[in-house]
Amino acid sequence: MASEIEQLKREYLEHLEIEKGSSLKTIENYERYMSRFLEFAKIQSPNEITDELVRNFRLFLNRQSAGNNRATGATLKKKTQNYYLIALRSFLKYLAKRNITSLSAEHIELAKVPERSLDLISSQELNRLLAAPEGNDIKALRDRAILQLLFSTGLRVSELCSLTRDIDFSTDEFSIRGKGSKVRVVFISDEARSAVGEYLKKRNDMDDALFVKADVEKADKEKEALARRSIERIVKQYAIKAGISKKVTPHVIRHCFATDLLQNGADIRSVQIMLGHSNIATTQIYTHITDKQLREVHKKFHSKK
């Protein structure tokens, strides 16, 4: 029979799924974070969660080896440690809403982490990447459409994978359901719309997914939709082909989408909405590298004699 705390953990995860509408990936991650905490804590009841227990858990996390880096002595990054604390804090807030006695979530402070740096590629590298798929076979057409759509819309890779052929690509916008089941409108460029149209014309299968594996195209064969890892591999392969030495992922293209908008004068609030960020602080990571006004001030006034 499950202990009280294990039962509450299960109910909490169900709460994330049903009431909060969290994605299955988020629930899977929170289940892993909470399980590791409970495995460490060895408690039966929520009232056994104390400041001292949390402090000891933080020390435990801080001394854990990071993945396969035991030989180098590398430990879990502060950012990774914070994921565990965020999950625990969320669990404690859930308990408080149910009037279940436990430690207050406010007692848990996250570790300070270095300011996030962005992985970016130059506009020249981006252009080479977008032009890398060559030819008119189904695979080249598909991959060209993927790259153009990623840059045109700023979609997350999970959002791209969820697209179906039901979307009306004759217009320059469509709706997408993103994180937290929030719906937003994304806009598609002429280049991306044309690339998707050429790809769909070549498709002769019946699968609903927009992007599918491009092996043998048969009308009577149901194709397999591309998964996240497949999209990541496609982007990586074309980055290598384009002669880009940096690590390029779908999320790097999303960064390029945001910085391109800001560098061309878009306001940060609009970019926040287009990216689907719930908090504008998340979007503000882009501003320090895209502030054209500061750049112009420096250019105009620095070292003038």
Quick one: residue 289, left, alpha or beta (phi over 0 = left, psi -120 to 50 = alpha)?
Answer: alpha
**Residue 26 sits in the same domain as residue 133:** no
Active-site residue, selected from the candidate residues 179, 202, 228, 241: 179
Mean pLDDT over 297-304 rounds to 70
Buried b (16+ CB within 10 A) or exposed e, 162-201: ebeeeeebeeeeeebebbeeeeeebebeeebbebbeebee
Side chain identity at 157, as an amino acid letter? Answer: V
pTM exceeds 0.75, yes or no? no
- Domain assignment present for residue 172? The answer is yes
**Residue 143 sits in the same domain as residue 248:** yes
**Residue 85 sits in the same domain as residue 129:** no
Q: CA 47 to CA 5: how far, in whole Å?
A: 9
Q: Is the pLDDT of residue 87 over 70?
A: yes
Active-site residue, selected from the candidate residues 142, 156, 193, 255: 156
**Residue 56 sits in the same domain as residue 177:** no
Active-site residue, selected from the candidate residues 12, 33, 199, 286: 286
Q: Is 251 a catalytic residue?
A: yes
Number of structural domains the chain divides into: 2
Distance of CA 12 to the CA centre of its chain: 23
DSSP state of 264: T
Residue 102 maps to which CATH number? 1.10.150.130
Q: Is 179 a catalytic residue?
A: yes
CA angle, corner 58, sides to 55 and 60, nearest 5? 115
pLDDT in tens, 146-177: 999 999 999 999 999 999 999 988 888 999 98
Mean pLDDT, the chain, whole residue set: 88
> Nearest Cα to 249, choosing from 275, 228, 263?
228
Q: Are 238 and 253 in contact (CB under 8 A)?
A: no
pLDDT in tens, 175-210: 998 887 788 999 999 999 999 999 999 998 888 999
- pLDDT recorded at residue 190: 93
CA dihedral 273, 260, 263, 124 (to 10 degrees): 170
3 state SS of 246: coil
- Domain assignment present for residue 304? The answer is no
Q: Is 286 a catalytic residue?
A: yes
**Residue 72 sits in the same domain as residue 169:** no
Residue 240, domain extent: 123-296
> Nearest Cα to 147, choosing from 120, 162, 163, 129?
129
- Domain assignment present for residue 112? The answer is no
Q: CA 305 to CA 303: how far, in whole Å?
A: 6
**Residue 27 sits in the same domain as residue 75:** yes
- Domain assignment present for residue 114? The answer is no
**Residue 57 sits in the same domain as residue 173:** no
3 state SS of 130: helix
**Residue 64 sits in the same domain as residue 147:** no
**Residue 195 sits in the same domain as residue 277:** yes
Q: CA 207 to CA 204: how far, in whole Å?
A: 9
**Residue 152 sits in the same domain as residue 289:** yes
Quick one: residue 246, left, alpha or beta (phi over 0 = left, psi -120 to 50 = alpha)?
Answer: beta
Confidence grade of residue 70 (pLDDT, cut at 50, 70, 90)? low
Q: Is 156 a catalytic residue?
A: yes
- Domain assignment present for residue 228? The answer is yes
pLDDT in tens, 132-147: 999 999 999 999 999 9
